[in-house]
Amino acid sequence: MGQNRPERRRTVAVPGSPGAWLAGILCLAVIAASTATALHRPPLRDQSMAAAHMAPATDVVSMVVERAELKPGSTIFQTGASGADVETIRNGDGSIVTKVTPLDRPQDGPVILTGARAIGQSAHMAHLPIPELLEPGKYGDLPVIGPDGKKPVEAYARPWSGARGTRIAIVVGGLGVSQTGTQYAIQTLPEGVTLAFAASGNSLQRWLQEARRGNHEVLLQIPFEPFGYPSTDPGPHTLVTADGTRQNIDDLHWALGRITNYTGVMNFMGSRFLSDPDAIEPVLQEIAGRGILFLDDGTSAQSLAGVVSQSLGVPFAQADMVVDQKLSTDVIMARLDEVERIARRNGEAIAVASAFEVSVDTVAAWIREVERRGVEIVPVSALVEH
């Protein structure tokens, strides 16, 4: 079949015919126009890269500007650390948009845009500190803002989806006090849970590495003076209003040097200290200068930490509820359900618990249920106000 079809007649353009000449002229015109466009294209420094479809933003997470000093003729690698404006903006729905705008270059030449700074560490490296984010201290390495402006709160943050929806951060504290309790919490709690280590705990760096390998975000608990101190004593190196700024900063450095790889600190007790503006302001100023966040556990109605943090630019968050003041599975479940109602009303919420076995088991079971209802468990750094 199809064997007896008549052979198609081919048409061949004869050189010198009007059709061939017209086709040749058109081809030459196209080539000339393309060449002119390429030669007169504006240099890359006059262009900008921006994230498309940017939603209205509620806050700017970070902006870093630094110019690269390069020899003429060298290739420029423009990132947030060299030669570009980088804005990382969190929208009201929790999504993250990054805008990268190249700066004016010192000379013409090739440019390679390597992208903005990533949030968080590689899972394979999360247990190791980043050298440029540390400085030697009297009691150990202290967190510090890197030479490119990157902060520990960004570098050690656990990434999350950035999706729309209800978000809850759960912080389980008191790790490091009991060795068996610490191990049980790290092994049992889902990776979305933020773990807080007591500064006075034992084997903290070893447990910190275990927590980071388990993909947990980490905080450090700082002991602050409560009302009734010293009858009620948070432990060694407690920051006390009567001690003055110099001693309190020294005690703060003792705590900060206990571990690395944390996004920030939270108070352990502290109703007296956090209500004194003269005491809390220099401490929060030191925290701001080191690029870490502060979480208020929400137990003191007189706390000024939020107001002072806002004035100093400290990344700040306040817990909505402590869920295990009574160590009962039913009570903790009921409190967690209340946290969910707060989150559905406000879009987000923060719950705090301690590393008691009943608390750990209840939190882990509740997370499995609430995730089936469409709630995302996020690290506490995702909910801080910058």
Ordered per-residue pLDDT tens for the chain, 386 residues: 444 444 444 444 444 554 544 455 544 554 454 444 444 433 333 333 333 333 333 333 333 333 333 334 433 333 333 445 555 565 665 555 666 666 555 455 554 444 444 567 776 788 899 999 999 999 999 999 999 999 999 999 999 999 889 999 999 999 999 999 999 999 999 999 999 999 999 999 999 999 999 999 999 999 999 999 999 999 999 999 999 999 999 999 999 999 999 999 999 999 999 999 999 999 999 999 999 999 999 999 999 999 999 999 999 999 999 999 999 999 999 999 999 999 999 999 999 999 999 999 999 999 999 999 999 999 999 999 86
pLDDT of residue 352: 98
pLDDT of residue 134: 97
Distance between CA atoms of 129 and 212, rounded to whole angstroms?
A: 10
Tell me the residue type at 250. D
Which residues are 200's β-sheet partners?
none
pLDDT of residue 121: 72
User: Strand, helix or coil at 214?
Assistant: coil
pLDDT of residue 382: 97
Tokens for 288, please give them: 């701001």
Query: Checking DSSP bridges between strand 321-322 and strand 348-354, what pairing results, if any?
Result: parallel
Query: φ, ψ for residue 308 (rounded to 5)?
Result: -70, -40
Distance between CA atoms of 168 and 350, rounded to whole angstroms?
A: 6
Query: φ, ψ for residue 249 (rounded to 5)?
Result: -65, -35
Q: Go through the domains of the chain in sequence order and give each one's CATH number.
A: 45-115 (no CATH), 131-383 (3.20.20.370)
Of how many residues is the chain composed?
A: 386
pLDDT of residue 52: 33
**Model-wide pTM > 0.85:** no
Distance between CA atoms of 14 and 73, rounded to whole angstroms?
A: 51
pLDDT of residue 127: 83
pLDDT of residue 257: 98
pLDDT of residue 98: 62
Query: Checking DSSP bridges between strand 84-91 and strand 57-64, what pairing results, if any?
Result: antiparallel
pLDDT of residue 94: 52
